[in-house]
Amino acid sequence: MKLLKRIFKKELENPVNQAIPTIDLRMKYIYEAIMNHLKMKTTGALLLTGDWGSGKTYHIKNNIFPLLENETDFVPLIVSLYGVSSKNDIAQKVLFSYFDKKGKNSNISTGTIAKNLQNFTEAVPLVKKYVNIEKLITGTGDNIFRFLPHDKLLICFDDLERISDQVDVDDFLGIVNELVENKGSKVLIIANEKEINGGLTFKEKTIEKTIHFSPNISAIIDSIIETYTDESFKDYLKDNKEFLLKSLNPSSENKDDAKELKTQFSNIRTIKFAIEHFKYPFEIIKQGKDISDELVKKQLKSIWLFVLSISTEFRKPNNITFEERKNLDKQTTSFSDFDFSNINLGDINKETEEEPTENEWTYSEKFKELYYGRLSEQFVFHPEVYELITSSKKIIETDFWENLEKNFNIKEGKIHPAHELLNGFMHGYWKFSNEDFKANLEKLLDYGEKGELLDIISYLNAGVYLLNFADLFDSDKETIYQKLKSGLDTFLSNVTLNYLMTSQLEMVAGNFNEENLQNLISFIKEKIKEVEKTNDLKEAKRLSDLIVNDASAFVKEFIPGDSTIRTPDKPFFHELDETKVKESVLKWDGSAIMDMTSFLKLRYLDTGFSDRLIDELKFLTNLEEGVSGMDKTEKNLTNHLLETQLMPRINECKIVLENHKNALQQ
């Protein structure tokens, strides 16, 4: 036992030239609180509490402990309680932590102490007779704690909230109380207090003081930057540190949002995760573009905001995944669907009486407001970056560049001027001078009148600013309405409409309550119907010819690019020429028959949107009549496939659509 005590009393030597860290002034209060705790006569432990992942343990271990060892004769130990299942386990972990601390610079460790003690007892049989070394090291907590030099020992217990359910938290606090009051040790507990099951019921008896840890995000960013060896990436992070900090600022007018963001952005693991994933697209852009170019700067900032927001949401349990995107990837406008956060638009912002029900769209809107709206920044979905974060899928550079240019409406290497100007209004119109503001309103109206905005929502967004500030430039609301209407007429006559564009118009239409904007929405809907009717007639003629001449090519035009992400198919096949559909069946070979059989299953059976295709019963009936009118007396492969494959599939699909039709009629 004296041997143990001599080992324990061996002084630690600080290696020559070991760097002693300095404490950031904003974190100095923690160091001072711990120093005061060591100097004062205390009757309880010190609790350091803060959110998970905020860097509490890292700061204590790497900044506080080296200073304490340099400025005091205390021996600081850090003991994780993660998964500890008994009180004896706690005592053993303290003992072994002390062994390792004492042996850090003097060839003494848990293993060497145990070995030397064993050799000693083998050499001195009398000791072996009375001392069981194994039981001594693995004995009860009281026996183990007896050998520690408690008067100069700071025991830091970490991860209290992760202790095994087999250990009652109050029993652990009893150990702490014994160490403090009867052994004379100083005890520091590191924990996320709000995550401890049942709370600290005996806290007032055991915890003397509580320190709340608030991480210094600026210092954290600095330390993360220094871990990278790529100088260009380090320089970029340093040069844009102000923007990084701005994006990590949890300030929000909504207190609940601010609280949530503070918790998420205090997690060092999340910040590291985001920066590491940002590095990949950064390297691609650096190799292909000049990162000092103004457009490239905007793109990089957009990607950083996207990486940060997706990383934060992805690391939450039961949230977005590679497949479950909750409509974050659904946007028709390149910058943001709409931003009311920085402009007073009267009754446009009025609250509805009913709270919206939670669904994928409300999630995506909440997401955009939480991570983008509070910063007055544009939301852009970067599909390749999303897949990198959520599945570690390698970025395909050609797709990455194509989507980046598309998302920013790039024309001849620059953002389309109409959208660049609209972006200026949506994300900082107050930055214009008085003269520029008036001139830019006139220019925006000119772009709108000429049909140069590239999506429907952008015309409505432009209308918000033009109508709201009509008295600040030489125009009036009626003139603005007529010019925007003219521009929309030009735009809609030349654009390829799709389901996403029309569905999102329906989704956001309720936000535009100003009379002229509502009139524009009504005009857009009528124009869409008109354009669709014209386009459908042209398309019906083309596809009627195609299904006759090349059925396999016809099928390929309607197969979705990604079968895991389906949007409703537009009901259209009933518009095909009835005679040509029936005639086409006569020309199909085995491959065409099987292609059509598989396609019918995909279109009508493997989708949740078949109820929208009731009108296409006519198409299925035409196919059925075309098959029935064929001469099937000859026994060959074609007739066999028609009877055993295509006809049964047509019948399956007809039943599904007829059931939808009957349900609708009831």
**Higher pLDDT, residue 162 or 660:** 660
Q: Over 70: is that where the pLDDT of 405 sits?
A: yes
pLDDT level of residue 566 (50, 70, 90 thresholds): low
DSSP state of 571: P
pLDDT level of residue 438 (50, 70, 90 thresholds): very high
pLDDT level of residue 439 (50, 70, 90 thresholds): very high
Q: Over 90: is that where the pLDDT of 242 sits?
A: yes
Amino acid symbol at 262: K
Q: Bin 474: left if φ > 0, else alpha if -120 < ψ < 50, else beta.
A: beta
Q: Over 80: is that where the pLDDT of 18 sits?
A: no
Q: Over 50: is that where the pLDDT of 16 sits?
A: no
Predicted pLDDT at 198: 55
**Higher pLDDT, residue 45 or 58:** 45
Q: Which two tokens stand for residue 466?
A: 């033009």
Q: Over 80: is that where the pLDDT of 348 sits?
A: no
**Higher pLDDT, residue 614 or 342:** 614
How many Å apart are CA 255 and CA 638, to the nearest integer? 69
Longest Cα–Cα distance of the chain, Å, equals 109
Q: Over 70: is that where the pLDDT of 350 sits?
A: no
**Higher pLDDT, residue 376 or 11:** 376
Q: Mean pLDDT in the chain?
A: 80
Of 576, 504, 588, 496, give the one whose Cα is nearest residue 542.
576
Evaluated on CA atoms 224, 228, 231, 233, the torsion sign reads: negative
Question: pTM for this one?
Answer: 0.57
Amino acid symbol at 424: G
Which range is least confidently modeled, 53-57, 196-200, 203-207?
Answer: 196-200
Return the percentage of the chain with pLDDT > 90, whole number: 31
**Higher pLDDT, residue 337 or 86:** 86
Predicted pLDDT at 128: 46
Predicted pLDDT at 640: 93
Predicted pLDDT at 391: 92
**Higher pLDDT, residue 656 or 27:** 656
pLDDT level of residue 341 (50, 70, 90 thresholds): very low
How many Å apart are CA 254 and CA 256, to the nearest integer? 6
Return the percentage of the chain with pLDDT > 70, whole number: 79
Instruction: Please give the average per-residue pLDDT across 456-461, as a whole number.
Output: 88
pLDDT in tens, 606-639: 888 889 999 999 999 999 999 998 887 888 999 9
Q: Over 70: is that where the pLDDT of 492 sits?
A: yes
Q: Where are the alpha helices (DSSP H) in 178-254?
A: 203-206, 217-225, 231-239, 241-247
Which range is least confidently modeled, 103-112, 226-235, 284-293, 608-617?
Answer: 103-112
Q: Over 50: is that where the pLDDT of 514 sits?
A: yes
User: Who's near 238: CB < 8 A, 6+ residues apart?
Assistant: 225
Instruction: Please give the average per-residue pLDDT across 497-517, as a whole number.
Output: 76
DSSP state of 601: I
**Higher pLDDT, residue 113 or 42:** 42
Which range is least confidently modeled, 88-102, 337-351, 513-527?
Answer: 337-351
Q: Over 70: is that where the pLDDT of 355 sits?
A: no
76 forms beta bridges with: 154
Predicted pLDDT at 564: 55
Q: Over 50: is that where the pLDDT of 344 sits?
A: no
How many Å apart are CA 360 and CA 13, to the nearest integer? 60
pLDDT in tens, 208-230: 888 887 777 888 888 889 889 99
Q: Which two tokens stand for residue 530?
A: 């008109």
Predicted pLDDT at 455: 84
Q: Over 80: is that where the pLDDT of 330 sits?
A: no
Of 176, 405, 389, 198, give the one whose Cα is nearest residue 277.
389
pLDDT level of residue 25 (50, 70, 90 thresholds): low
DSSP 351-402: PPSSPPPPSHHHHHHHHHHHHTGGGT------HHHHHHHHH-PPP-HHHHHH
For residues 524 and 516, is the Cβ–Cβ distance under 8 A?
no
| Cα radius of gyration rounded to whole Å, the chain | 35
Which range is least confidently modeled, 245-254, 358-367, 542-551, 573-582?
Answer: 358-367
